[in-house]
Amino acid sequence: MEENISSMKKLLLNCFFASFCLALASCGGGATSDPYQPDIQAYGLNYGSKATFFVGVTTLNPGTSFSATNCTSLQSAPSTTANYVSYTCSVTGTGPVVFSGTDASGKVIATQSFKVPNPQVAIYATIGTTSANFVVELNQPKAPVSTDNFLRYVKDGFYTGTLFHRVIPNFVVQAGGFTTGLTPKTSTYDPIALESQNGLSNIKGSLAMARTSDPNSATSQFYINIKDNTNLDYVDANSPGYAVFGSVIAGQSAIDSIAAVITGTASGLTDVPTTEIRIINAIRIQ
């Protein structure tokens, strides 16, 4: 009798630790019970990237399925971690992501919430030979078109070698359209639709898209507000304003240094820094 009880205990322990009971079948008894919540982990939860979810089980009952909000094309993937099954999907938005598992009857048997952060880009620049580095965070939920546009140029390495070609003290600093010698750098993507009605304002430290008189003409050029410039915000159809899509979150002193340079006229352009302010690189860090 004692030997049989000992064997039963070992069977129960093996069931609990090896599969975490998400297989939903009873462990050697006959009666069924609610499963234990398995460990669920997520990696690569960045906007526009492929994320991987790991679920702490080894087997699944037929009919068990998983889903994830703000993530498309969820599919099973080979697991790189023992005693875990894994799934991948493409992250389509920032904010909450809920990963859930349901059984064949549609009952939720496992769920875990995660958060996708806003994208961040580090911009490494120089004023002559002096470093002027800063970090911007993009507001993807409120400015998805401008965010995607900016990230495409960053990914392509487009901003490397471009200049802060326009500096107006107590107003804005502008970059992303010219290289050394004020040579125009041709944009590689079509102009985007104006997103100035997104609730974001042209306040100090905000990042916005530069454009021509055509509201829907923004491409690669961007500017950073040196002070509150709410006069650049949307008013009406006749005064559509300029689209803010992010803000400086680190390195504001670098922006202040850029704004303080001496400017003049060159190649027919005004407010051009007399000391070259060059973007060495722009790299997505989140």
CATH of the domain at 101: 2.60.40
Q: Is there a single domain that holds both residue 197 and residue 247?
A: yes
Q: Where are the beta strands (DSSP E) in 103-254?
A: 108-116, 120-127, 130-131, 134-138, 164-168, 172-175, 178-179, 183-184, 206-209, 222-225, 244-250
Q: Is there a single domain that holds both residue 130 and residue 185?
A: yes
- The two most distant CA atoms of the chain are separated, in Å, by 98
pLDDT digits (tens, 9 = 90+) for 5-29: 343 333 333 333 333 344 433 233 3
Q: How many domains does the chain have?
A: 2
Pull the structure tokens for residue 230: 């709410």
Q: Is there a single domain that holds both residue 128 and residue 228?
A: yes
The rounded distance, in Å, linking the Cα atoms of 267 and 165 is 11
Q: Is there a single domain that holds both residue 134 and residue 256?
A: yes
Mean pLDDT of 260-269: 96
Query: Model confidence at 37, in pLDDT bands (50, 70, 90)?
Result: confident
CATH number at residue 227: 2.40.100.10
Q: What is the domain range of residue 44?
A: 2-116
Q: Is there a single domain that holds both residue 214 and residue 243?
A: yes
Size (the chain), residues:
286
pLDDT at 90 over 90: yes
Determine the pLDDT at residue 35: 53
Out of 34-38, 81-85, 216-220, least confident range: 34-38
Determine the pLDDT at residue 3: 44
The rounded distance, in Å, linking the Cα atoms of 162 and 173 is 13
Domain end marker among 65, 86, 116: 116
Determine the pLDDT at residue 38: 87
pLDDT digits (tens, 9 = 90+) for 189-208: 999 999 999 999 999 999 99
Q: Is there a single domain that holds both residue 161 and residue 275?
A: yes
Phi, psi of 14 (to 5 degrees): -65, -40
